[in-house]
């Protein structure tokens, strides 16, 4: 039937292009930790990963949505048919471990390679991908803040995926306001803690795909001060460990219900109840917020990647549908002969809009991930520059890419016309699944506040200014037909400099009122800068004699780059007025 959900094919050629030309994969091999990485072998690795996720995980996506995870009367959870088997194959293949420390069984690859693999997993089945994603975040927290013994006890099995991890933060009365949480931790004589409280929105909080679940739980000790300063974080495993490190007695915790959600039905989102459950303190008491942000900062890039991944899946399906669906005539066809809708200019514009934004998002997310890798450089100046770039790009990746995920999956649905509104085609699933991205791991409004409150002021605004300088340099480097669109980038950087200066001079509600449009403006400028950089790389390779399919791929790079810079970027320059207008027009509103 025309309109049935399409297969997923990993865009390996574009991934490899971005890794080499934007993320600087070749340069990462100069960092001691990654000296074993051969950039020329990465394309083969991505090919094999793409085959795995297309053949093993992608077929579970539709049934995962329709069937969903179910809680049983005994509190256990059954995942949809095929999910447990696919997870076993993922563990066996080791794809989730490639970017972790070899000391704990990881592959030792750069984070940016792990992110590329994660993109494939997320496109294949977002709900499924959340299980490894939360485990990854928990590993990062343990790696940075846990004791050596705690790492040895838990991290190796989590790296392999044999055990999974969660973050138990949110409570019914404490969402974004973490300081309002009330879960209690009472110290016992043996040094463990009794954890009591209820947590909501716990992703993969209970399931049947792994033999143990390592919950990381935020709670307050008896003498803790109010607010975020009084929070501690604890390891609370589903099964306590035996002396030999194997899962033993069940801990006193339970999944009391599963949320009924708009999307990501495959992912069991649990309400977890802890009743004097045994917990193990990570670090010192009242340092939980610092530990939690280690996990959340890791997760924010991964959530931004979800916007890219779902937009890619929706784009692939929209391309297939627009080639299959015939409707309406064209001047070059016989009267009464219907044309594939991809021949209609408006449909082509929608597809090109999707493709151009997808390529820009991939550049941003991969650059963000490579900044994590570059912080490990032995050159202190390189490491510090990477740290600043990481700080600045993370809220852009999280918020811009998930906002675009919402918009682009909606365009994909629009291309399907009325069939897009029918669940049978599967186009609506992508739209429903990504809607959570702008909400969890810090709403996009919080990302915008973080951007203007913490990231823009770095070095008095110099970090943002240097990013805009790079954009101007990439514009100046455009040659040939693309040189004529460079003015759109310089106009946009000028507007962004004005907006940045105004925000630095206007803290408080005036600045907060302009935070969201500023994040959109800055993100789009960065996207245009990276598309210009991509175009220049494509031009160089074409000049070196690329032929055949490769030449066609590079020519399309020039098409999408030009479209982004010439047609998508200019509309965002108008956001300057929204950034600098101040709070008064908003304050005057009476709902």
Catalytic residues: 441
Residue in 414, 436, 130, 461 with CA at minimum distance from that of residue 267: 130
Cα–Cα separations (whole angstroms), residue 553 to 347, 531, 539, 544: 21, 15, 11, 15
- How far separated are the first and last CA of the chain, in Å rounded? 47
Measured at the alpha carbon of residue 199, what is the angle toward residues 153 and 143, in degrees to the nearest 5?
30
Q: Whose structure tokens read 């299959």?
A: 324
Give me the DSSP letters along 4-27: PPPP----HHHHHHHHHHTS-HHH
- Strand partners of residue 174: 171
Q: Tell me the angle at which helices 427-434 and 288-324 cross, rounded to the nearest 10 degrees.
A: 160
How is 113-178 classified by DSSP, letter by letter? HHHHHHHHHHHH-HHHHHHHHHHHHHHHHHHHHS-HHHHHHHHHHHHHTSEEEEEE--BTTBSS-G
CA atoms within 13 A on the CB side of 34: 29
Dig out the tokens for 187 from the structure: 């110290």
DSSP 8-state assignment for residue 234: E
Burial of 410 (0-12, 13-18, 19+ CB in 10 A): middle
**Angle of the 39-52 helix axis to the 111-124 helix axis, nearest 10:** 20
Tokens of 30: 């100069």
* Structure-block tokens of residue 354: 């999707």
- Give the integer Cα–Cα distance in Å for 564 and 361: 12
Please name the residue that has the structure tokens 């300088």.
Answer: 469
The whole-angstrom separation of Cα 444 and Cα 318 is: 27
Q: Within 13 A of 255's CA, how many CA atoms are on the CB side?
A: 28
Largest Cα–Cα distance in the chain? 87
- Reduced DSSP (H G I as helix, E B as strand, rest coil) percent helix, strand, coil of the chain, to 5: 60, 10, 25
φ, ψ dihedrals at 562, nearest 5°: -60, -45
The count of other CB atoms within 10 Å of the CB of residue 406 is 17
């Amino acid at each position: 039937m025309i309109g049935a959900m399409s297969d997923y094919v990993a865009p390996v050629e574009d991934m490899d292009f971005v890794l080499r030309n934007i993320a600087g994969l070749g340069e990462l091999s100069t960092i001691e930790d990654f000296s074993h990485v051969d950039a020329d072998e990465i394309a083969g690795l991505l090919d094999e990963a793409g085959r795995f996720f297309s053949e093993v995980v992608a077929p579970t996506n539709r049934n995962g949505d329709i069937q969903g995870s179910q809680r049983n009367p005994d509190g256990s959870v059954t995942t949809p048919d095929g999910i447990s088997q696919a997870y076993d194959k993922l563990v066996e293949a080791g794809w989730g471990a490639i970017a972790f420390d070899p000391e704990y069984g990881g592959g030792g690859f750069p984070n940016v390679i792990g992110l590329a693999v994660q993109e494939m997993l997320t496109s294949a089945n977002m709900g499924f991908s959340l299980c490894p994603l939360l485990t990854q975040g928990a590993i990062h927290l343990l790696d940075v803040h846990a004791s050596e013994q705690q790492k040895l006890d838990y991290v190796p099995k989590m790296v392999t995926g044999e055990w999974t991890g969660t973050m138990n933060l949110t409570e019914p009365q404490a969402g974004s306001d973490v300081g309002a949480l009330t879960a209690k931790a009472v110290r016992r004589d043996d040094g463990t803690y009794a954890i009591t409280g209820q947590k909501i929105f716990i992703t993969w909080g209970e399931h049947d795909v792994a033999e143990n679940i390592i919950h990381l739980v935020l709670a307050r000790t008896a003498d803790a001060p109010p607010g975020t300063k009084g929070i501690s974080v604890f390891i609370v495993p589903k099964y306590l460990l035996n002396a030999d490190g194997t899962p033993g007695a069940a801990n006193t915790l339970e999944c009391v219900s599963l949320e009924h959600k708009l999307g990501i039905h495959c992912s069991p989102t649990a309400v977890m109840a802890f009743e004097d459950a045994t917990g193990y303190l990570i670090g010192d008491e009242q340092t939980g917020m610092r530990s939690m942000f280690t996990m959340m900062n890791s997760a924010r890039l991964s959530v931004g990647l979800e916007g890219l991944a779902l937009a890619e899946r929706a784009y692939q399906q929209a391309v297939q549908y627009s080639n299959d669906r015939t409707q309406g005539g064209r001047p070059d066809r016989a009267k009464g002969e219907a044309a594939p809708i991809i021949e209609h200019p408006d449909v082509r514009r929608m597809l090109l809009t999707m493709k151009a934004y997808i390529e820009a998002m991939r550049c941003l997310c991969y650059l963000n991930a490579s900044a994590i890798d570059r912080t490990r450089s032995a050159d202190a100046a390189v490491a510090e520059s990477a740290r600043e770039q990481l700080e600045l790009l993370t809220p852009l990746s999280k918020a811009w890419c998930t906002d675009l995920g919402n918009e682009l999956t909606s365009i994909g649905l629009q291309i399907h016309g009325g069939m897009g509104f029918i669940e049978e085609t599967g186009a609506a699933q992508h739209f429903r699944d990504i809607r959570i991205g702008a909400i969890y791991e810090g709403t996009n409004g919080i990302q915008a506040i973080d951007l203007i409150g913490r990231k823009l002021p770095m070095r008095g605004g110099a970090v943002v200014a240097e990013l805009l300088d790079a954009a101007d340099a990439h514009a100046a480097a455009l040659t040939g037909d693309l040189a004529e669109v460079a003015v759109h980038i310089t106009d946009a950087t000028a507007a962004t400099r004005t907006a940045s200066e105004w925000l630095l001079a206007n803290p408080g509600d005036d600045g907060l009122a302009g935070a969201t449009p500023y994040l959109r403006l800055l993100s789009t400028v960065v996207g245009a800068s990276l598309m210009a950089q991509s175009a220049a790389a494509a031009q160089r390779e074409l000049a070196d004699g690329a032929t055949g399919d490769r030449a066609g791929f590079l020519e399309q790079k020039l098409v999408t780059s030009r479209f982004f810079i010439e047609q998508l970027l200019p509309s965002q320059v108008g956001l300057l007025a929204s950034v600098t207008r101040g709070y008064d027009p908003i304050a005057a509103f009476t709902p």
